[in-house]
Chain A
Amino acid sequence: MFRRTGAVVLAAALSLAGCSAQDTASTGAPSASSTSSAPAVTGALTVFAAASLTESFTQLGKDFEAANPGVKVTFNFAGSSALAQQINSGAPADVFASAAPTNMKQVSDAGGITGDATTFVKNKLEIVVPKGNPAKVTGLADFGKADLKIALCAEQVPCGAAAKKVFETAGITAAPDTLEQDVKAVLTKVKLGEVDAALVYKTDVKAAGSDVEGIEFAEADKAVNDYPIAPLAKAPNAPAAKAFVDFVLSAAGRKVLSDAGFAAP
């Protein structure tokens, strides 16, 4: 965890050194409708984002850099709780995008954000099975079968908490064989065919492509995850932090996120 932070710091420092002060009249910066016309933003921007945002935020980062020449965006993707701890321990981050309000609250309780966080997307769970669905899983009820190999997220991480809520709603006692440390680890087990079924986010199923198959289920609506985003109080590059959050909330940003499978808040 700290090694990763170190890498981010290094990357941020390198990109600071490499960027030239550019006199951008930046007319093309797509800012959200509610904000004042964005001033030219430059420099390094460090975004801490939940692991489930890896694909969509990488794309958003590229788009943001294209719209704001002179900005270099660096991401630190990890579990939201690990990110919240890194931020509270003083990691030099500009923006925090969390997969659960709880982790954003940990940061705001510690005085890490000044304003309110904004919910920018919602995500829900989906059943995921290996390609070809070898165990013929049809719905949530199959998760109670002891002879199937089942992977879930551990309750301590957001996707596990959501899974717990889903099973409680459906009145099913799940019989998992493993409780994984994050949603990507669950997906790996499915991709390798080591488990017959698992619960991951809808967006993860989409990102995994043809290696896996997704099965939607009705109870998923009972455990929808809100994703909050906020610029951080101690952001080394506050103008860019604000501009990036506005960009995520803009129409262009929403399009990237909905293409990745996220639902609008």
Chain B
Amino acid sequence: MTRRAGTRGRLPAVLVVPAVIGLAFLVVPLAGLLVRAPWPTLFDQLSSPAVGEALALSLVCASLATVICLVLGVPLAWLLARGDVPGRGFLRALVTVPLVLPPVVGGVALLLVLGRRGLIGSYLDSWFGISLPFTTTGVVIAEAFVAMPFLVISVEGALRAADPRFEEAAATLGASRWLTFRRVTLPTIMPGIVAGTVLCWARALGEFGATITFAGNFPGRTTTMPLAVYLALETDPDAAIVLSIVLLIVSVVVLASLRDRWIRGAA
């Protein structure tokens, strides 16, 4: 319609002003953390083994949770977008439940199902001797539960925006649905998957409520960075600020570097 040069021109104030306010709203609290940070002791804190342990646990658990979300979430998004299932709107609403649920309630719900006396957990315990609460596996489960909707919603949005005619064309050329999904659908929706994965990983990394409720808090086993931050805040707010900054820096670095690579790869 309009030529590209025409869309450039002057930026409309009606968009720029709220955009700048929005950016400030998101960034200023981070600046607050940086201003209050006890810089002289920052590196002592960083080298403490407890911090390294919590950080490593956070990164491993968030990444494992993201893998689970990808393996289960992408097919779920496909089912919601393309599958011919009855009550799809209702299913879609159900998928977003963990988004609405306060994470602590999510943690209690997980305990009621997977806990030692839970609906499924009691059988896991008596048949296999598996107990999920208070374990690292429990952390991964809690994080995956809370983070998966972010992935599903992003991927489903991408699937619905993608042109189904390419898939139909592949089908008319004799490709099976699985082959079509792999070779046609997946590359088309890759930006959506990347965005969803980033959201999912970030949400899992920052997860607090469901984790502490379902997996408890034990150093080296279930104490992730957000839990360590919360407990440090009880006695030593400066240490809590340092931990928060470490978590922020690591997540920003990981997201910035990976995102560039993935998006370039997908484009």
Seen from chain A, the residues whose Cβ lies within 8 Å of a Cβ on chain B are: 79, 81-82, 85, 149, 151, 154, 156-157, 176-181, 185, 188-189, 192-194
A189 touches B216 (CB 8 A): yes
Residues of B within 8 A of A85 (CB): 233, 237
Residues of A within 8 A of B112 (CB): 192
Closest 6 CB pairs of A and B: A178-B216, A156-B234, A177-B134, A193-B117, A81-B234, A156-B235
A185 touches B117 (CB 8 A): no
Complex partner residue of B234 from A157, A177, A185, CB under 8 angstroms: A157
A188 touches B108 (CB 8 A): yes
B213 touches A178 (CB 8 A): no
Complex partner residue of B216 from A156, A180, A193, CB under 8 angstroms: A180
Residues of B within 8 A of A154 (CB): 217, 231, 234
Asked whether any CB of chain A lies closer than 8 Å to the CB of B55, the reply is no
Q: Determine how close the nearest CB of chain A comes to the CB of B50; give it in whole angstroms.
A: 12
Bound state CA distance, A154 and B134, in angstroms? 14
Q: Determine how close the nearest CB of chain B comes to the CB of A52; give it in whole angstroms.
A: 15
The winner among A81, A180, A181 for most chain B CB atoms within 10 A is A181
Bound state CA distance, A149 and B115, in angstroms? 12
Contact A149:B230 (CB < 8 A) given known A156-B235, A185-B213, A193-B117: no
Contact A193:B231 (CB < 8 A) given known A178-B218, A178-B222: no
Which residues of chain B (184-241) have a CB below 8 Å from chain A? 212-213, 215-219, 222, 227, 230-235, 237
Complex partner residue of B231 from A149, A181, A194, CB under 8 angstroms: A181
Bound state CA distance, A82 and B133, in angstroms? 27
Asked whether any CB of chain A lies closer than 8 Å to the CB of B69, the reply is no
Asked whether any CB of chain A lies closer than 8 Å to the CB of B242, the reply is no
Bound state CA distance, A164 and B237, in angstroms? 22
Q: Determine how close the nearest CB of chain B comes to the CB of A208; give it in whole angstroms.
A: 16
Q: Determine how close the nearest CB of chain A comes to the CB of B250; give it in whole angstroms.
A: 23
- A156-B234, A185-B213 given; 8 more Cβ-contact pairs under 8 Å: A85-B237, A149-B116, A178-B216, A179-B217, A179-B219, A181-B234, A185-B212, A193-B117
Residues of B within 8 A of A179 (CB): 216-219
Residues of B within 8 A of A185 (CB): 212-213
Q: Determine how close the nearest CB of chain A comes to the CB of B129; give it in whole angstroms.
A: 12
B237 touches A180 (CB 8 A): no
Q: Determine how close the nearest CB of chain B comes to the CB of A62; give it in whole angstroms.
A: 27
Complex partner residue of B230 from A151, A181, A192, CB under 8 angstroms: A181
A181 touches B212 (CB 8 A): yes
Which residues of chain B (71-128) have a CB below 8 Å from chain A? 108, 111-112, 115-117
Q: Determine how close the nearest CB of chain B comes to the CB of A161; give it in whole angstroms.
A: 9
Residues of B within 8 A of A178 (CB): 134, 215-218, 222
Question: Closest residue of chain B to A79, judged by CB?
Answer: B234
Q: Determine how close the nearest CB of chain A comes to the CB of B189; give it in whole angstroms.
A: 36
Q: Determine how close the nearest CB of chain B comes to the CB of A13; give it in whole angstroms.
A: 24
The winner among A81, A178, A193 for most chain B CB atoms within 10 A is A178
B117 touches A151 (CB 8 A): no
Contact A192:B111 (CB < 8 A) given known A176-B218, A177-B218: yes
30 contacting pairs across A/B (C-beta < 8 A): A79-B234, A81-B235, A149-B116, A149-B131, A149-B134, A154-B231, A156-B235, A176-B218, A177-B134, A177-B218, A178-B134, A178-B216, A178-B217, A178-B218, A178-B222, A179-B216, A179-B218, A179-B219, A180-B212, A180-B217, A181-B217, A181-B230, A185-B213, A189-B216, A192-B108, A192-B115, A193-B115, A193-B117, A194-B111, A194-B115
Bound state CA distance, A151 and B116, in angstroms? 14
Bound state CA distance, A146 and B154, in angstroms? 44
